[in-house]
Amino acid sequence: MPQDDMIDGFENLQLLDMDGCQLSGKIPLWISTFTNLEMLILRSNQLTGPIPGWINSLSHLLYMDVSNNNLTGEIPLTLMEIAMLKSTGNSSHLNPRVFELPVHTGPSLQYRVDISFPVVLNLSNNNFTGVIPPQIGQLKVLVLLDFSFNKLSGQIPKSVGNLKNLQVLDLSNNNLTGAIPAALNSLHFLASFNVSGNDLEGIIPFGGQFDTFGTSSFDGNIKLCGSMLLHKCGSAEAPPATILSTKQTDYKVAFAIAFNAFFGVGVLYDQIVLSRYFG
């Protein structure tokens, strides 16, 4: 990526797509001048370094995909301040679900088409560390949130339950711990959910959308329990050694009872027989 401080002339640019261009280097400062940018797609490159703190200057950004790079650092809090990702679409020209795309069919022929895009934040397949910021709950218009295949730690913030429009949530293959927040049960539009490959524990929320997710959504979290898993909550089986020990004890008790009963009957029989001869 060119690292010039400024590249002028693109102030009206709405879409920047550099998908799979084998680009290296850091996300450059000149992108911050694209104040009308709505879609930023830099996925499948070799970009390094952190997400820059100026990312919130892209106040119209509604689609950001930087997946499949080598980005590092923590998820910046300024990312949670992007105005369009927090917008509820109170006016038609701020509707984050509609992208006005100019189409050119000739040198002098142009028309505009309204194309609906989901509101996306995709940081997957990088090397991000640290925790998922609780401020993530401010991005209330998100439809897809993908932080999978990073090195994130800590717990899943309860504030994720505020993302009422969320349809896809992928936090798989990180180092997340703790329980799955029950607040996520309020995500009524959630169609895809994946937290596999973490170290989560406790009871999986039940009811609502959680009743539709298969076991693959939770694979690799051996401390989780729930109705959809083989490991049911509160039904842990005793270790085989304990079961064997209990069986052995039962055999010993049964044998002792049987032996005492047999011995008692034998003594009684002997007394009856002896009494006939010596009575």
Q: What is the DSSP string of 6-68?
A: ---S-TT--EEE-TT---EEPPPGGGGG-TT--EEE--SSEEEEPPPGGGGG-TT--EEE--S
3-state helix, strand, coil in the chain (%, to 5): 30, 20, 50
pTM of the model: 0.77
Q: Which amino acid is at 254?
A: A
Is the separation of the CB atoms in 78 and 54 below 8 Å? yes
Please report, in tens digits, the pLDDT of each residue of the chain (279 residues total). 777 666 776 788 999 999 999 999 999 999 998 989 999 999 999 999 999 999 999 999 999 999 999 999 999 999 999 988 886 553 333 444 455 666 655 555 655 555 567 899 999 999 999 999 999 999 999 999 999 999 999 999 999 999 999 999 999 999 999 999 999 999 999 999 999 999 999 999 988 899 899 999 999 999 999 877 877 787 544 333 333 333 443 444 343 444 344 344 343 333 433 333 334
Task: State whether residue 132 is helix, strand or coil.
Answer: coil
Right CATH number for 15-225 from 3.90.550.10, 3.80.10.10, 2.40.50.100, 3.40.50.300? 3.80.10.10
Pairing verdict, β 120-122 and 98-104: unpaired
